[in-house]
Amino acid sequence: MTVLEVKNLTHTYSGNTPFINDAVSRVSFSAEKGEIIGIIGHTGSGKSTLVQHLNGLLKPTEGEVFVDGENIWDNPKEIRKIRSKVGLVFQYPEYQLFEETVYADIAFGPKNMGLAGDELKKRVLDTCRLIGVKDEYLEKSPFDLSGGEKRRVAIAGVMAMKPEVIVFDEPTAGLDPAGRESVMKIIHDYRQAVGATVIIISHSMEDMALLADKLLVMNKGSLEMFDTVENVFLNGDRLREIGLNVPIVTRVFYELKAAGIPVPDNVFTVSRAVEVLKGIKAGERGA
């Protein structure tokens, strides 16, 4: 089932702004329920502009965005309703925390949607339970938490709105491996529990290979590729041309192939690499 569809989306920034123009031109793609889509592209390729259209923060200059089959700009007055259907977690989301307690901060989104009383309370507590925000944190000030915990609370603030599509702009930026793992886990848990579609902007090809079903490659504001992870990473030469690359392990396999070892082209994760090499080794021993 298609939950999100973008048709011919074009966005041009008007005027002489001093900021880097991050325009988007004629992008079309669609996302199915429960899918994980990775967006890759170097800085300034239009990724951030693109995702801000998905929940109506930006209005397309041309083209349409459909959520559950409805054009989100059919009724501009109701645009805020879209924000609870398509959640957007910005880069370094912990910088948007503002309430006195963790509970109040997580409740901000659902409250804006009109939830109140027991329903609101249940929503906040359910979200916390789902992604592992401990009960004793709820009455603490969010500013007393560690960096990784702050990020978890900030993400919970968006998840508490229970969006069917949730978009993350580099959710693990600036975190250490433990922090990264825990953010990846809550994204996974949320998707499992809600059946949501997940869209992630990332610079890490290695993470994308592990996580994503499909990849959307942006280059200079245009859609370069939109395909399965395998089909995108098979185009290593083109990716390099536009300043991207394939996972490191895949690069090791390019070298192996060049040296005449019969390895397949579609090795993108360490686990798969180990399996393939074990197979080759066993085969050689057998021969």
List residues near other proteins by CB under 8 A.
15-20, 42-43, 52, 55, 57, 80, 83-84, 87-90, 93, 95-98, 108-109, 112-113, 143, 146-148, 157-158, 161, 173-179, 203, 206, 243, 247-249, 251-252, 255-256, 259, 261, 270, 273-274, 277-278, 280-281, 284-285
**In the complex, what is the shortest distance from the CB of residue 185 to other proteins, in angstroms, rounded to a whole number?**
15
Beta partners for residue 64, in sequence order: 7
Nearer to other proteins, 35 or 105 (CB): 105
What is the β-pairing status of strands 86-89 and 36-40?
unpaired
Nearer to other proteins, 35 or 84 (CB): 84
**In the complex, what is the shortest distance from the CB of residue 137 to other proteins, in angstroms, rounded to a whole number?**
16
Tokens of residue 86, six digits: 């398509």
Burial class of residue 153 in the structure, from the number of CB atoms within 10 Å of its CB (0-12 exposed, 13-18 middle, 19+ buried)? buried
Nearer to other proteins, 188 or 278 (CB): 278
> In whole angstroms, what is the distance from residue 217 CA to residue 235 CA?
11
Nearer to other proteins, 36 or 97 (CB): 97
Burial class of residue 18 in the structure, from the number of CB atoms within 10 Å of its CB (0-12 exposed, 13-18 middle, 19+ buried)? exposed
Nearer to other proteins, 235 or 245 (CB): 245
Give the residue carrying structure tokens 């109506």: 56
CA-wise closest residue to 37 among 198, 206, 173, 159:
198
Nearer to other proteins, 36 or 89 (CB): 89
**In the complex, what is the shortest distance from the CB of residue 274 to other proteins, in angstroms, rounded to a whole number?**
5
Beta partners for residue 247, in sequence order: none
| Cβ atoms of 65 and 54 closer than 8 Å | yes
**In the complex, what is the shortest distance from the CB of residue 260 to other proteins, in angstroms, rounded to a whole number?**
9
What value, to the nearest 5°, has the Cα angle with vertex 83 and ends 81 and 85?
80
**In the complex, what is the shortest distance from the CB of residue 42 to other proteins, in angstroms, rounded to a whole number?**
6
For the chain, the residue count is 287
**In the complex, what is the shortest distance from the CB of residue 88 to other proteins, in angstroms, rounded to a whole number?**
4
